[in-house]
């Protein structure tokens, strides 16, 4: 890449320029191109190159609005560096309003870094990865929970990697879940390729949730401030933070009975050991099964669909240490 110029196959964006493109990554059964929307904002001053991506799962919509607003509504005067905005990676899934590629139901987020001579999903992934991910210095990939569940806003990142840990903390979420991520996922493969990347989980599929979108936009501002792309902005401190790594520090609570679920807490709620999380009853409410918190923590993800079989997930709970617990309780007391 030439100094200060962002190049891609078929084009280039000079310093101080912005380009909206539709980049071909595959073809339909009729031979028509499948194009992903991309906005490249190249600041007039040099600096890091950051990609923002969303809808690698086609029904995960919150991140689309985050990336669109950064690309189309923010004032980028004074930007020091380059933003590569990818609001919809999985265009076929987005058009069908489903999670996976409708081409043999493949998961695009298990197909990176891709291969040019492999499956349709891996070919699409290879094009996206080589053109718009590998040229960057860091990235943020926005997700939601799958259908029937919802997540509080949190970050997933490999905090054993110091560069990724810096990025994860800069986003300023309350909760960071530390892992290297599944093989083939965008954040894992980009990080392995030398582009530190985090996943931001927020809300539920098939929705625009304005409060989460606004908080995610604040996180983007904080990251760009941390890396000097927006030098006049401040890096945020969320008030409290827990980094969850050990398997003993988090758990999915699962149903031991089939029935209808009444949740007693929402995502983001603080619960103490022994608190009732939910109650499962049969259609006559003649029998019930109560699920209680096995430890004190924060509910990161929670069931939205109230119908369960035995073994279905109910909520994702992460443990809080004593210092973090006191900080959370102070925050909630001040909010009352």
d(CA 292, CA 298): 13
Closest CA to 149 of 9, 8, 307, 40: 307
Per-residue pLDDT, averaged over 255-279, amounts to 94
- Residue range 65-96, pLDDT digits in tens: 999 999 999 999 999 999 999 999 999 999 99
How confident is the model at residue 3, as a pLDDT? 67
Query: Does residue 336 surpass a pLDDT of 70?
Result: no
How does pLDDT run across 323-334, given as a tens digit for each residue? 899 988 888 777
* Integer CA distances (angstroms), 178 to 43, 164, 168, 234, 244, in order: 32, 10, 10, 25, 6
Over residues 51-78, mean pLDDT: 97
- Contact yes or no for 29/50 (Cβ under 8 A): no
């Amino acid at each position: 890449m030439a100094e200060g110029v962002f190049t891609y196959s078929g084009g280039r964006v000079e310093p101080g320029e912005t380009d909206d493109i539709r980049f071909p990554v595959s073809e339909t059964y009729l031979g028509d191109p499948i194009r992903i929307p991309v906005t490249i904002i190249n600041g007039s001053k040099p600096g890091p190159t950051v990609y923002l991506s969303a809808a690698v799962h086609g029904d995960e919509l919150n991140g689309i609005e985050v990336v669109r607003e950064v690309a189309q509504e923010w004032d980028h005067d004074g930007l020091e560096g380059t933003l590569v905005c990818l609001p919809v990676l999985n265009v076929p899934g987005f058009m069908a309003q489903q999670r996976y590629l409708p081409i043999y139901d493949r998961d695009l987020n298990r197909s990176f870094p891709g291969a040019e001579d492999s499956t349709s999903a891996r070919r699409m992934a290879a094009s996206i990865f080589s053109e718009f991910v590998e040229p960057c210095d860091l990235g943020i990939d926005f997700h939601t929970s799958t259908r029937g569940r919802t997540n509080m806003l949190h970050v997933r990142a490999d905090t054993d990697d110091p560069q990724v840990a810096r990025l994860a903390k800069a986003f300023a979420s309350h909760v960071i879940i530390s892992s290297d991520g599944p093989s083939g996922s965008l954040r894992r493969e980009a990080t392995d390729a030398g582009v530190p990347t985090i996943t931001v989980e927020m809300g539920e599929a098939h929705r625009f949730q304005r409060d989460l979108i606004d908080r995610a936009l604040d996180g983007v501002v904080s990251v760009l401030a941390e890396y000097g792309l927006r030098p006049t902005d401040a890096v945020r401190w969320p008030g409290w933070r827990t980094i969850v790594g050990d398997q003993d520090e988090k758990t999915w609570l699962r149903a031991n009975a089939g029935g209808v679920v009444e949740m007693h807490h929402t995502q983001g709620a603080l619960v103490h050991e022994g608190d009732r999380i939910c109650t499962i009853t049969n259609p006559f409410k003649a029998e019930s099964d109560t699920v209680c918190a096995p430890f004190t923590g924060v509910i990161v993800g929670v069931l939205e669909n109230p119908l369960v079989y035995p073994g279905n997930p109910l909520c994702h709970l992460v443990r809080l240490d004593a210092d973090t617990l006191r900080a959370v309780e102070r925050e909630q007391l001040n909010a009352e």
